[in-house]
Amino acid sequence: MQANLEVLEGLARRLDISVPMDQLETEVQSRLKRLARNVKMDGFRPGKAPLGAVARQHGPGVRQEVLGETLQARFGSAIQENQLKIAGYPRFEPKAGQTDTAEMTFSASFEVYPEVRIDDLSAGKISRSIVDLGDAEVMKTLEVLQKQRRTFETVDKAAVEGDLLKFDYQGTVDGEAFEGGKGEDFAAVIGEGRLLKDFEQSLTGLKAGDNKGFDLTFPAEYAAKELAGKKAHFEVQVREVQAPVVPAVDAEFAKALGVEDGNVETLKAEVKSNLEREVKRRVQTKLKEQTMELLLQKSTLDLPQSLVAMETDRLRSMTEADMQQRGVQTMKLSADMFTGQAERRVRLGLILAEIVQTHKLVAQPEQIRALILEQAQSYEEPEQVMQWYYQSPERMQEIESLALEENVVAWVAGQAQVEDVTTSFEELMGRA
């Protein structure tokens, strides 16, 4: 076999691969004979069709199959001989102007993986959040859980923030009704932001049976473009005011949240444990984001366009499938929408792979198990969740990728300057 390697621009390479036609035809005839033993063809009993008839009907397909396998095998051997690491898939094309009928020469065009150069990270700065979880954070979380399980009861009083109102309304713009401007027995909780702020403020202080008219101006960025920035008049008739009834943090409340014996202290301990897991996840996520940005800044490499194209197609297909699943009708999305994200993902993937390989940051079985256990702890039956992960190679691969990312983050943290920053729980959660 002859395979001449040509170095093109950047990461592009080309191999010329010669294929002896007599060997190709020998394999084609061998497969056609095997096929003829069982093939079904009109006018013949199974396996009784003449070889010539089988060749006329199936010969082109078999020849293409044999040629493809031969090219792949010879290409693989040439790659090993030249010690090349292929990025993406090769493209085979017959060379023009061939006169030798004894063999055919094909050009295989492809890209190789780039050299990844990572500069010194010692001057890089990363901040790591230090969060002290106390009773205050546990109580705030319990208050959220109480609010989620609140009920409402009818009251004879003026509405305040937090109350639920049921009312009829009629809106007009320039004296004309508009689409969506009328409702009957509409229900909304004041202060939850479901209504425009000016609308909510106009409802505050009203009681059952009250009528009120008021004006408001729709925001310039209002979703209904035909109403954006316009002044409207509303007439409202209040049917009912309901005040919230928040359940007490007691045994019944604890049982409703999965604590079988109703022990409130056990509930608080579980809430704190959940918060600690969330804090750890958030801290690690922020640390990883900074790590990836630092690596992007400190690394130099050429991007294989074949990998970028593959990642672009993958991202586009995922987005289209997600939109279709959610019932969103859309045209085929442009690849340009995903190119930037694809380039970033490919670049980071190559950088991480280089660090993992160079510094032998392989994921250990106990590390993978710990990550799976951490994921499973937020479910009622952790053991079943763990089995669910171990039963799927795809899911295990996802966990292994997480473990490798953690290893890279830890390695970078050991190279760069890491500053511990005291952060409140509210700041970490983005609520401050």
- Could you give the residue ranges of the DSSP H alpha helices within 112-222? 135-148, 197-203
Q: How confident is the model at residue 432 (pLDDT cuts 50, 70, 90)?
A: low
pLDDT tens sequence across 25-37 = 899 999 888 888 8
In the chain, what are the domain boundaries? 3-112, 125-129+279-428, 151-245
Could you give the C-alpha distances from 366 to 373, 408, 411, in angstroms and in order?
10, 17, 18
Q: Residue 75: its pLDDT value, please?
A: 92
pLDDT digits (tens, 9 = 90+) for 205-255: 999 999 999 999 999 999 899 999 999 999 999 999 999 999 999 999 999
pLDDT tens per residue, range 293-315: 999 999 999 999 999 999 999 99
CATH number given to 125-129+279-428: 1.10.3120.10
Count of alpha carbons within 13 Å of 146, Cβ hemisphere only? 13
pLDDT tens digits, residue range 164-203? 999 999 999 999 999 999 999 999 999 998 999 999 999 9
Average pLDDT over residues 371-388: 88
pLDDT of residue 1: 46
Q: What is the pLDDT of residue 163?
A: 97
Distance of CA 244 to the CA centre of its chain: 38
3 state DSSP class of 429: coil
Q: Where are the beta strands (DSSP E) in 174-300?
A: 176-189, 211-217, 231-245, 299-300
Beta bridge partners of 92: 108
Distance CA 139, CA 144 (A): 9
Q: What is the band of 141 on the pLDDT scale with cuts at 50, 70, 90?
A: very high
Residue 342 is encoded by which pair of tokens? Answer: 């694809």
The reported pLDDT for the residue numbered 104 is 86
The dihedral built from the CA positions of residue 320, 324, 327 and 330, taken in this order, carries a sign that is positive
pLDDT for the residue numbered 6:
87
- Average pLDDT over all residues of the chain: 91
Three-state secondary structure call for residue 27: helix
Q: Residue 97, by phi and psi: left (phi above 0), alpha (psi -120 to 50) or beta? A: left
The answer to whether 3-112 and 151-245 have equal CATH topology is no
- pLDDT at site 3: 58
- Identify the weakest region by mean pLDDT among 65-74, 319-328, 336-345, 355-364: 319-328
Choose which CATH entry (2.60.40.180, 3.10.105.10, 3.40.50.300, 3.10.50.40) describes domain 151-245. 3.10.50.40
Contact 174, 160 (CB under 8 A): no
3-112 placed in CATH 3.30.70.1050: yes
Contact 133, 425 (CB under 8 A): yes
- As a three-state string, the secondary structure of 98-123 is CCCCCEEEEEEEEEECCCCEECCCCC
Across the range 414-427, mean pLDDT stands at 94
Q: What's the pLDDT at 330?
A: 66
